[in-house]
Each structure stands twice: as structure tokens, then as C-alpha cells.
Amino acid sequence: MQIAHPYLLFLGDVPDSLAAKTAQGIVDWRPEWCLGQTRLNGCAADTGLPDMSIREGAGQGARTMIIGSVNAGGTLPEHWVDSIIEALEAGLDVASGLHIKLSSIPAVKEAAVRNGRALYDVRHNTETFATGRGTKRSGKRILAVGTDCSVGKKYTALAMDKAMRARGFKSSFSATGQTGVFISGRGVALDAVIADFISGAAEWISPATEEDYWQVIEGQGSLFHPSFAGVTLGLLHGAQPDAFIVCHEPTRTTMRGVDTPLPPIEDVIDMTIRCGRLTNPDIRCIGIAVNTAALEEHEARTYLQDLGREHDLPATDPVRFGMEPIVDKVVAAFGAP
């Protein structure tokens, strides 16, 4: 799937920044591919890119409009369809990470054919996956897990891969969600895989490698989230991680989108080890990654120091303070590259 850039990022009229995490992730990790953003009235998200209309974006050289916002059901709001058609008529391809296929909307499909434009649905793929086998495979793997959804698992995995390569490790990032696929150009959106094949798909994206090669795997959902735990468990079994990093957002009291209380980090560590031992008896936690964006710097550093002491693990904010403490833990636990 070769999606042409520069990108014009469509944010729609989403109510908060988290709902535009696809667009923000692309901006943060592929800024050179991004030209601008286009928003509908009432949009509360802002990637920091220049605002422009679809026509302006096309005139300035954009080649693909990315649907950069998501929702719990992966649906496409009906009032966004006109903007998608406008982009196709302006000469842009359109790419989406939603569950619904763009080509399943008759008006969108007709406009794409009429204008000779391409539609890309990165959440869907043509690969046929086997069921998971659980057989031990060579190489090393790190999985990002979460106390909740949308707490920074993708950013943690990307930052960890980058930090490990900077330290001389052989490493790569394995995408398991639509934004990660946009960023890396390869991967599987696991929440669109039929349930029986989730663990098999996770095995497919993190295959056997040389023993000293590390695959850093993007996490999904949370084992404690009543909506998404099924995907999380299948990913955990298929990823067969040697190590995992717990990702956390410290200001939440309930899980996103539901009234379920946020689990303690210790419970997440214990549950991940107990469930993960099914496919890797040696699984261990190597650190805690915290999104401290809502905290002042001094408060964030104090919080991380206290958290690290409490769990006897390195704790850091991947974006704010980097992943060096957790890379050090990898060296201590598994050896230097």
C-alpha cells in the first residue's frame, strides 16, 4: 500500500485531541509528510499544522487527504462524506483508518471512480492469517501494554525502538493499529482482524528473527478495559514478549469511554505476567512509561521518581524525558548489543 504524500489531515469536528490521535501521531512521527490540516466547525482538536480548506490543500500540493480522527466504533459520521467527496473532486486520494470501508459508501465510491482517485482503508488488509500457535520463536520482543486505551502505547513503542537503535541494538517497530501503519508503512490493525486470528496476526507482524534482534510492538487497549480487552489479550499471546512496558496516564480515574475504575499499575503488571506466561514463561516488566502532559515539569519528575521507587522499575515520559532509563534496564536484564 503506497499512499502518496504530502498529506492533508482531515480532523472533522471531533470533541477533543485524543479523538484526533491518528492525525497527531502522523504529525509527530512523519512531519515531513504533512502539509496542513482541515477542520469542520466545532472541532476541538488541533495538530498545530496550518489550517486550510481542501481546495487550498490541493492547490499547495497535497496528494492524499488522511481521515485523521477516530471514534470508539470506527464509524464515519454521515456529515463527513461531503468533505471526502470534495477532496476526491479536488484531485486528492483519500485514506482512512476507520472500520468502515470508504468504498462501501456509494457516493464516495462513485466520486473516486469518476475522478480517477484512489481510496485506501488501512484498517483492512488482504492478508490471510493463521490461528496463533504459541510456539517459541527466535528473536526478542518488547510489548507496550496499558492501564487504559489511549495512554501512549504507540508513542512508547516508537520512542523505545528509536532509543534502542541509537544505542546500537538491532530493532524495529511493529505496528498494530491504523496510525502505526500510516507511520511505519507496514503492520496490521488488529482490532479489524477476526477474533480467532488476532494472536496469529500478532505472530505474523513479529516473526522469528536473529536472536539479538528486537521487535518493539505497539500495544492495543488494556487487559482491564471491558470494551477492548479481547484484542489486548490476543496481542499479548501472539506477541510472545520477553519484556513489556506499562503505559499510564496519571490524571484519569476511570477508563476512557466507560465507568470502570482505572486499575493500579501493580495489577496491570501482575495480570500481564500471568496471562503472558502462556506463550512466554520468562516474560517480565522492564519499565513504566507515563504521559505527563497534564503535569508541570517539577511535578512530573517527582511523580516519576516516586513511581519508580514504588515499583522498583525505571519510570519515564517517552516524549518529555526519553527512554534511556528503560533501555538501561534492557541492557541490565538482557545484555548490551
Q: What is the pLDDT of residues 283-314, one digit of tens each?
A: 999 999 999 999 999 999 999 999 999 999 99
H helix or E strand, kind and range, residue 119 = strand 119-121
Give pLDDT, residue 3: 86
Task: Clarify whether residues 75 and 156 are in a common domain.
Answer: no
Over residues 67-98, the pLDDT tens digits come to 999 776 678 899 999 999 999 999 999 999 88
33 and 103 housed in the same domain: yes
Q: What is the C-alpha to C-alpha distance for residues 192 and 211, in angstroms, rounded to an integer?
A: 30
In a shared domain, residues 196 and 271: yes
CATH number of the domain to which 57 belongs = 3.40.50.720
> Does 88 lie in the same domain as 45?
yes
- Position 17 pLDDT exceeds 70: yes
Amino acid letter for position 63? R
pTM, two decimals, is 0.85
Decide if 130 is inside a domain: no
**Domain-embedded: residue 97:** yes
pLDDT for the residue numbered 178? 87
Task: State residue 298's pLDDT score.
Answer: 97
Flag whether 191 is in a domain.
yes
User: Does one domain contain both 17 and 106?
Assistant: yes
Is residue 164 situated within a structural domain? yes
Do both 175 and 319 map to the same domain? yes
Same domain, yes or no: 215 and 75: no
Let me know whether 110 and 254 are in one domain.
Answer: no
DSSP structural state of residue 23: H
| pLDDT above 90: percentage of residues in the chain | 86
244-269 pLDDT per residue, tens: 999 999 999 999 989 999 999 999 99
Number of domains in the chain: 2
So what's the pLDDT on residue 75? 80
Domain limits at 59? 7-121
Question: 126 lies in a domain?
Answer: no
> Is residue 160 scored above 80 in pLDDT?
yes
Same domain, 72 and 194: no
Return the residue matching grid coordinates 475504575. Answer: 261
Task: Note whether 223 and 111 are same-domain residues.
Answer: no
What span, in angstroms and rounded, lies between the C-alpha atoms of 222 and 151? Answer: 10
**Element containing residue 215 per DSSP (H, E):** strand 213-217
Residue 133, in any domain of the structure: no
Lowest mean pLDDT of 58-67, 178-187, 208-217, name the range.
178-187
The last residue of a domain, from among 90, 121, 152: 121
The Cα 13–Cα 77 span in angstroms is 10
Domain harbouring 163, CATH code: 3.40.50.300
CB 316 within 8 A of CB 290: yes
Q: What pLDDT shows up at residue 72? A: 66
In a domain, 282, yes or no: yes
Taking only the tens place, the pLDDT of each residue in 95-123 is 998 889 999 999 999 999 999 999 999 88
- Statement to judge: residues 170 and 106 lie in one domain: no
pLDDT tens, 20-41?
A: 989 999 999 999 999 999 999 9
Domain assignment of residue 223, yes or no:
yes
- Specify whether 222 is located in the same domain as 284: yes
> pLDDT digit string (tens) for 166-186?
999 999 999 998 889 888 878
